[in-house]
Structure 1
């Protein structure tokens, strides 16, 4: 168990380094706005030279982040494809690449049951691997290996003998973080081109009903969602680096500080009931978790019995993904010191919300919810996995009867990217290749026949070049 003194020491270290970073990144002072009729300032006779002793009026605070839709927002109506009657936009194509219980390539290893969260990892030979969790017990992770022409050449396991591996996240050092969705769940780090024996558990990332993870290298942070009605959003800040995997040095995921997010005004178990409030930007802060080496649901219950547990409630946390804005293309956030460098998007199925968190300015807002109806005015049913395309399109998978991949256009009505008929399953594991030309996804249980779930199906959607940039 981490002692209070050690937690405070770690927190002081991180707060100190953060303060230095903010000082380095903060914008410099600028001249106050002056109209043509302004009289000279006697304390500053030269209006073109700021007086450091007179503070500039702050810029109005932004109410929304300056987020823009990607090129997929220009898609037209859906048409029926020749693969399982899947509805896709005109000019796109779809193919089936794996089916649960059947080997996906030469060999005897069957594609796993209940395919869930996934990611694509590019290989040195021009091909790639698509990894996919198994949300069953036993669970684990399977991988499909593609050559440079997009043909499936191999299928293998990179994690086994775990429980209900739901979603996870790719790391910048090219490993896969697979998350167990059980009360005492752990996060396992896997090599997408390795084998199951090389996977490693990282208890320092928290013990709870894990869902998904996203890594931000500049701040040495891992963001984690919790699939619980009283769930929290977690941040792990790593101390030190880990040995290189596949030639890339990563973060040490066994030592660091684990915290939960609190929205200003909704601390200690608070929840943003009012959507009109949640849709506006709010400041956030981070609070160290208590007893990080114990299941967090148990710790919360104990804290609530005597007072309240830290953290804002996010109901049923699901998918999470980072979007980065390249240097020179980072929009300003009015009233904040830093341009928009990185945004964490994450979903909550308990209230069908998509949140956006500005990492450097500590701001959060709801950018999509069920009041923003989509193409056919059918309400969203359980938002789940989430991915951001290389061109900046935010894609959310949907469970239940509708079975859609939704194209989220921040603070506007969404569009439907595709729809799989059959219902009563989950669309899972959306993940793009690095060039944005292919999008992989699964129907976790496939079509239902006479009330009996079928086998999971994994697909590839090919995206025309006009919708990639």
Structure 2
């Protein structure tokens, strides 16, 4: 299996031609209408001033965002590796770095966790953080279990050797996904109806972690931040869920000691696509693939469970609660384009600076939200895969954008693939875990793009129980260049 068709809509282009200026000729004569007496020469006309050029016609608005593929679009066929039978592209390499109930340093069973924390059960969303002091990095990973959830961390040296394992959050519930912040912290999200977002220090200890109830009480899935607009975006894993944003009141000192956004004071809002207010859903996929303007509506009773608040609003008004419905919001990621590489968007006031990607498992769609121009479109869906020879996606989940611009989407269920989205071309399968019955979770690149971490949430543990394993895919240099 090699590719999955991902057809993008062609840009609608219009050519306009300005009309040439009309030539005006002045005439004289005995019966001239100029009013000169007969036989009197008419005044010599002065050269006429050229008319100003016709105004340029308005540029029609774009129907899609000018997104580009990264270098992983060029990967080849998958081959079987010698690590748990995982299929990877030829020329890539893979290793297992941790398993539940195992000491990640020695690789030996560690059932009690007395000397060192073992790798946690049911690993889910994750991220990589560089460590400036020694050139190493940390991979953090949620534990999706209740009770007893939290976040574990693997500390790597500059050569990629695991040198420590520890917890940065303990005793929370169903920690599903989350997101790395621009100021170097990890936001871990509880996937429960009264769930909260916890901010954690990648280097620990767990006692530094803080809950931020101002980010909403709902079935949290993921959270990402855009520093330029002082805004967080949050997804809700619910068939009747919403896409939220939190406009922070300002900047404070974070738990890392670095300046970070104030996550306790601000305004929580939900997104409404034009024409799809109060819980409406974009059923027409062809229309959803075209750019639509959006607006943001304040959340009612943000400090209460939103599932309860929505039910009360619907009972009292007979209509849906504010916000467009997104079916099972999953992974989120903000891609910020470098200065000098921000394309203009026809009909939009601002160039494309930052895009929020949202994956929804209820309809297997990936949305792209243009932050600065308040517009959204579907950029990936299963209908675009028909006829490719590959099975459609089954429950899209976590999403990550690599340093070179590759958009990678994870999949749950029977097929368990990582897919590289490629605009206007077939998508590519980056890897596949055979066997199914699990979730492919936590994809995260190192800052240089040389390694990609991910987990099989119910992969074989140290005791061969289906309780979780985590892997590292090494990416050849040719596929790291932007």
For the criterion TM > 0.5, the same-fold answer is: yes
TM-score range, shorter chain: 0.7 to 0.9
CA offsets, 1:443-466, max 9 Å, x none? 000159xxx961301000000111
| Structure 1 residues 430-454: Cα deviation after superposition (integer angstroms, max 9, x where no partner) | 0000000000000000159xxx961
Task: Pick from 213, 231, 234 the counterpart of residue 224 of structure 1.
Answer: 234
Determine the structure 2 residue equivalent to 1:384: 397
Match of 1:183 in 2: 193
Alignment of 1:115 with 2:123, yes or no, is yes
Residue 85 of structure 1 corresponds to 85
- Residues 149 and 173 in structure 2, CA contact (< 8 A), matched pair in contact too: yes
Q: Which residue of 2 aligns with 1:6?
A: none
The verdict on how the C-alpha distance between 1:366 and 1:38 changes in structure 2, with shifts beyond 3 A counting, is farther
Deviation at 1:422, TM superposition (A): 1.6
Q: 2:452 aligns to what? A: 439
Contact 2:141 2:442 (C-alpha < 8 Å) held by counterparts: yes
- Taking only aligned residues, the RMSD between alpha carbons, in angstroms, comes to 2.1
Conserved? CA contact 1:391–1:468, under 8 Å? yes
The structure showing larger relative contact order (alpha-carbon pairs under 8 Å, at least 6 residues apart) is 2
Going from structure 1 to structure 2, the CA distance change for 1:195 and 1:61 (only over 3 Å counts) comes to: same
* Shift in alpha-carbon separation, 1:58–1:147, aligned structure 2, 3 A: same
Contact 1:372 1:413 in 2 (8 A): no
Cα displacement (A) at 1:46: 4.2
The structural deviation recorded for 1:229 is 0.3
Q: 1:303 to 1:244 in 2, by over 3 A?
A: closer
Equivalent positions of 1:159-178 (< 5 A) are 159-178=169-188
Distance 1:174-1:44 versus aligned 2 partners, 3 A rule: farther
Q: Kindly state the Cα deviation for residue 414 of structure 1 after the two structures are TM-superposed.
A: 1.7
Cα separation, partners in 2 of 1:44 and 1:360, compared to 1, 3 Å: farther
Once the two structures are superposed, residues 280-335 of structure 1 have per-residue CA deviations (whole angstroms, 9 ceiling, x without a partner) of 11000000000001000000001111222000000000000011111111111111
Superposed counterparts of 1:36-115, under 5 Å:
37-39=20-22, 45-47=51-53, 57-105=57-105, 107-115=115-123
The residue matched to 1:372 in structure 2 has which SS? Answer: helix
Q: List per-residue Cα deviations over 1:203-248 (Å, max 9, x = no partner).
A: 0000000000110000000000000000000000000212144342
2:289 is aligned with 1:306: no
Map Cα deviations across residues 368-398 of structure 1 (whole Å, 9 max, x no partner): 0011228642011100000000111110110
Whether the aligned pair in 2 keeps the contact of 1:163 and 1:181 (CA below 8 Å) is yes
Query: Any runs of at least 4 consecutive aligned residues in structure 1 with deviations exceeding 6 A, and if so which?
Result: 40-44
Supply the distance in 2 between the matched residues of 1:359 and 1:108 (Cα, whole angstroms).
43
Cα distance in 2, alignment partners of residues 285 and 258 from structure 1: 13
- Structure 2 residue aligned with 1:317: 329
Asked if structure 1 preserves the Cα contact closer than 8 Å seen for 2:460 and 2:469, the reply is: no
Q: Indicate conservation of the 8 Å contact 1:368/1:412, yes or no.
A: no
Instruction: Tell me by how many angstroms 1:108 deviates.
Output: 2.8
- Report the CA distance shift for 1:168/1:38 in structure 2 as closer, same or farther (over 3 A): farther
| Equivalent in 426, 429, 452 of residue 416 of structure 1 | 429
Distance of 1:428 and 1:457 partners within structure 2 = 10
Q: Does 1:275 align with 2:288?
A: no
Question: Structure 1 unaligned runs (5+)?
Answer: 1-31
Secondary structure of 1:301's counterpart equals helix
Query: Are the structure 2 counterparts of residues 257 and 35 from structure 1 closer, same or farther at C-alpha, using a change threshold of 3 Å?
Result: same
Q: CA deviation at 1:33?
A: 6.9
* Aligned counterparts of 1:364 and 1:357: Cα–Cα separation in 2: 4
Aligned match for 2:368, one of 331, 350, 356: 356
User: How far off is 1:82 after superposition?
Assistant: 1.1
Change beyond 3 A, Cα 1:320–1:333: same
In 1: Cα distance, 2:255 partner to 2:194 partner: 27
- TM-score, structure 1 normalization: 0.88
2:284 maps to 1:265? no
DSSP-derived class of the 1:396 partner: strand
Deviation for aligned residue 1:109: 1.2
Instruction: Indicate the SS of the match to 2:321.
Output: coil
Q: Is the 8 A contact 1:140 1:165 kept in 2?
A: yes
Instruction: Go from structure 1 to structure 2 and tell me whether the alpha carbon gap of 1:436 and 1:109 turns closer, same or farther (over 3 Å shift).
Output: same
